[in-house]
Amino acid sequence: MKEIDQFMDGLRKRNPHEVEFHQAVEEVVESVMPWYLDHKEYHREQILERTTEPDRIIIFRVCWETDSGDVRANRAWRVQFNHALGPYKGGLRFHPSVTQSVLKFLGFEQIFKNSLTGLPMGGAKGGSNFNPKGKSSREVMRFCQSMMVELSRHIGEDVDVPAGDIGVGAREISYLFGQYMRLENRWSGVLTGKGQTFGGSAVRTEATGYGCVYFCEHMLNQHGEGIAGKTVAISGSGNVATYAAEKAIEKGAKVLTLSDSDGFIEVKGGLSMEQLQFVKDLKENRRGRISEVADTFAGVTYHADATPWGVACDIAMPCATQNEMDDHDAKTLVNNGVIAVCEGANMPLTNHAAGVLAKNNVLHAPGKASNAGGVAVSGLEQSQNAMRISWDRDEVDTRLQKIMTSIHSRCVEHGEHNGRVNYVTGANIAGFKKVADAMLAYGVV
């Protein structure tokens, strides 16, 4: 379509070399453009141009000392993308692959994901190229404290509320939060994903993985299928992957794989809760490699330097990182009879891989819909903090399930055609429309 090509040419010129950002925008623009051109009021007010330009990007140096007294300098960013719907909200990522392009793609996705939750949250993302792997907890603490000195000037409970992402879990959020309190001399719900004894919400840890399975179940039910008895290949072994596995097992599915950046484990009989508990301890506390699971349990095979997508399964849940599934992987899954791909990670598929799924009628839930459970419970954590109350586990889980049901309904509303739902189109239009309407109401700002 000529309008898409023209728009993308301009975006690439304005943001040279930011390939991940180009990819995320292209996916949204391809879904939204026909609808956008039919709605002249958005077009006239240049809403697409404005939503693809971040409100601001803060870039700063983070200096810290290793345990042996050596000085290190990392780069950190906060991309405050769009706050039309509420205070900026989105995670922080610590990984050597973090660049401005990666954080712009994540911040851009976050705008529409947060819109889909129905909660008042704008979109942002941040992080650093700091690599926590192999660092002691004291080194991680010093890094977090130093990062917060600058970050604290740009965030606040009504301004911007960061949370975790890859490499940022309960330990890092606690160090960041402790330092923020020290600097500001007051308690506030400035971060989410906090420990439950100091303002964190029940179910936040589990929320992204659980939400992904809730969404997957709706998607299957909508098309006459169920989740019980299905085989599931999951990638990753971090926060999202382990809690997606937990909920899938609870619902009677058989989880065949988990992975990390070195390789994957295959459990032909299906991962047991005991094995999953071992993985959680391995990754959350001992910070070891997934191969250890195969060294410990009979019936578990380790495949080095490989991804799980060659394993025949009914459902694939990529829960590790961006572009972890390419068109070759997607073709292999299709040839092996996959019926659904449900994204736990952000943008885990290349746009070509998504094209292969669409061509072969595979149900495909995009992350901005299926992994929105995490930020949704973060939004509930903000509400609890503001009201100075805390809901119990059942209350939060019930609210999470309602939000995932509502996101699914909105995808159906905007993506259904002849009884089949295109979830990518549905999620993009539903998420975009709400942001666009708010921006129209504000005038030219």
Ligand X SMILES: O=C(O)CCC(=O)C(=O)O
Q: Which residue in the block uniquely carries the two structure tokens 């995490």? A: 374
**318 near ligand NAI, judged by CB under 6 A:** no
| CA end-to-end span of the chain | 29
By the rule CB under 6 A, 346 interacts with ligand NAI:
yes
Q: Does 24 bind ligand X (CB under 6 A)?
A: no
Burial 73-95 (b: 16+ CB within 10 A, else e): ebebbbbbbbbbbbbbbbbbbbb
378 has binding-site annotation: yes
Distance CA 25, CA 111 (A): 12
Long-range contacts of 410-413 (CB under 8 A, 24+ apart): 410/116, 411/369, 412/222
Structure tokens at 55: 């409100």
Phi, psi of 210 (to 5 degrees): -60, -45
Which residue number, 89 or 408, has a Cβ lying nearer to ligand X?
A: 89
**Options 35-43, 326-334, 343-351, 428-436: segment touching ligand NAI (CB under 6 A):** 343-351
Cβ proximity to ligand NAI, 250 vs 262, nearer residue: 262
Q: Is 316 helix (H, G, I), strand (E, B) or coil?
A: strand
126 forms part of the interface with ligand NAI (CB under 6 A)? no
Interacting residues with ligand X between 107 and 166 (CB under 6 A): 110, 113, 163, 165
Q: Least CB distance from residue 218 to ligand NAI, whole Å?
A: 18
Residue 125 bears catalytic tag: yes
The reply to whether 205 sits near ligand X by the rule CB under 6 A is no
Under rule CB under 6 A, residue 320 binds ligand NAI? yes
Q: Which of 356, 375, 407, 430 touches ligand X (CB under 6 A)?
A: 375
Considering the candidates 13, 104, 125, 251, report the single residue annotated as catalytic. 125
192 binds, among ligand X, ligand NAI, none (CB under 5 to 8 A by kind): ligand X
User: In the set 83, 89, 135, 171, which binds ligand X (CB under 6 A)?
Assistant: 89
Q: Specify the length of the chain in residues.
A: 445
> What is the distance between the alpha carbons of residues 229 and 323, in angstroms, rounded to a whole number?
28
One DSSP character per residue, 348-402 reads -B-HHHHHHHHHTT-EEE-HHHHTTHHHHHHHHHHHHHHHT----HHHHHHHHHH
Residue 23 engages ligand NAI in binding (rule: CB under 6 A): no
From 374, 415, 426, 431, residue interacting with ligand X (rule: CB under 6 A): 374
Under the criterion CB under 6 A, does residue 206 sit at the interface with ligand X?
Answer: no
Binder of ligand X out of 82, 145, 201, 346 (CB under 6 A) = 346
> Strand runs (DSSP E) across 47-141, as ranges?
56-65, 71-82, 88-94, 123-128
89 is in an annotated binding site: yes
Give the whole-angstrom CA distance, residue 51 versus residue 25. 10
| CA 316 – CA 95 distance, rounded (Å) | 24
| Residue list 374-403, contact with ligand NAI (CB under 6 A) | 374
Note whether 192 binds ligand X by CB under 6 A. yes
Work out whether 167 is an interface residue with ligand NAI (CB under 6 A).
yes
**Residue 351 burial (C-beta neighbours within 10 Å; 0-12, 13-18, 19+):** middle
> Strand, helix or coil at 131?
coil
- Antiparallel, parallel or unpaired: β 263-267 and 254-260: antiparallel
The answer on whether 277 is annotated among ligand-binding residues is no
Given ligand NAI, ligand X, none, residue 144, with its beta carbon under 5 to 8 Å by kind, binds none
Q: For the packed helices 373-387 and 204-222, what is the interaxial angle rounded to 10 degrees?
A: 130
C-beta of 275 vs 321, nearer to ligand X: 321
90 binds ligand X (CB under 6 A): yes
Q: Which does 237 bind (CB under 5 to 8 A by kind): ligand X, ligand NAI, none?
A: ligand NAI
Using the rule CB under 6 A, is 426 a contact of ligand NAI? no
Among 239, 257, 422, 425, binds ligand NAI (CB under 6 A): 239
The angle subtended at Cα 122 by Cα 116 and Cα 123, nearest 5°, is 85
Contact status: 371 vs ligand NAI (CB under 6 A): yes
Nearer to ligand NAI, 123 or 344 (CB): 344
- Applying CB under 6 A, the residues found at the interface with ligand NAI are 164-167, 169, 208, 236-241, 259-261, 319-321, 324, 344-346, 371, 374
Catalytic residues: 125
Catalog residues that contact ligand X under the rule CB under 6 A: 89-91, 110, 113, 163, 165, 192, 346, 374-375, 378
